[in-house]
Structure 1
Amino acid sequence: MLLNNWTQSLTNNKKASAGFAKNNPQMMEAFKQVNLAHATPGVLDAKTRELIALAVAVTTRCDGCIAAHAAAARKAGVTEQELSEALGTAIALNAGAAYVYSLRALDALGEFAGNQA
């Protein structure tokens, strides 16, 4: 089952970036450099970096990131089982973040008790 045409999404994002690059070349170059730094081998191998990238893409709800990093993850040899386990961590942290920010919202509401605008 396909929820999205990820290959087409990746292609569309690459094509659409031309206008952004023309209008803001410094930012585009900086973005390219960030991506190159991400892809540079270090202590973590490519597979691990792409698993992390996909978990972060899910938590930030970025379809473009999902498309780009799913393609890179496949090239790095990531399996569905490995990705499912990494995504379990993303789900757990998203739920945790919603809980912590719920506490913050309640705290903020409490701070403004009695303060009428």
Structure 2
Amino acid sequence: MTADTRIENWDEYSAGLRDRGKDLRGLHPELVKGFVALNTGAATTRHLDAKTRELIALAVAVTTRCEGCIDSHSRKARAAGATKEEVAEALGVAIALNAGAAFTYSLHVLDAFDGAGT
């Protein structure tokens, strides 16, 4: 899936990911076992409630451009009681951080330009 292709049916997309995940598990079971353990550990929180965790996960999914994460954590956020307005606020954080990162890296470009060939 490329960034310029819109996912029309998220249920089909999710089912396809699960099927391909099974294929990968068959090819490299220890890798998938480790991935599942990492996710299980990260989902076990003592200080954040499930809704807050899923809102953070959605913001991170946007900044990492992970469609599978967007799918999974949108479902989990809804199940945890997140509202569309709360999701929009979390997405606002992701947008601001991406803009901040572009700004910061732009400063690196200026530094590199000033230092290049001197």
TM-score (norm 2): 0.87
- What amino acid is the match of 2:51? K
1:16 equivalent in structure 2: 20
1:63 equivalent in structure 2: 67
2:3 equivalent in structure 1: none
- Between 1:100-109 and 1:52-61, the stretch displaced more is 100-109
Q: Distance in 1 between matches of 2:66 and 2:107?
A: 26
TM-score (norm 1): 0.88
SS of residue in 2 equivalent to 1:42: coil
Q: Which structure 2 segments of 5+ residues have no match?
A: 1-5
> How many equivalent pairs are there?
113
Q: Distance in 2 between matches of 1:14 and 1:109?
A: 46
1:104 equivalent in structure 2: 108
Cα distance, 1:3 vs structure 2: 5.3
Q: Distance in 2 between matches of 1:44 and 1:59?
A: 21
Q: Which runs of 4+ in 1 moved over 2 A?
A: 108-114
CA offsets 1:46-93 (integer angstroms, 9 cap, x no match): 000000000000111111110010011111011000000111111111
2:77 equivalent in structure 1: 73
1:53 equivalent in structure 2: 57
Q: Which structure 1 segments of 5+ residues have no match?
A: none
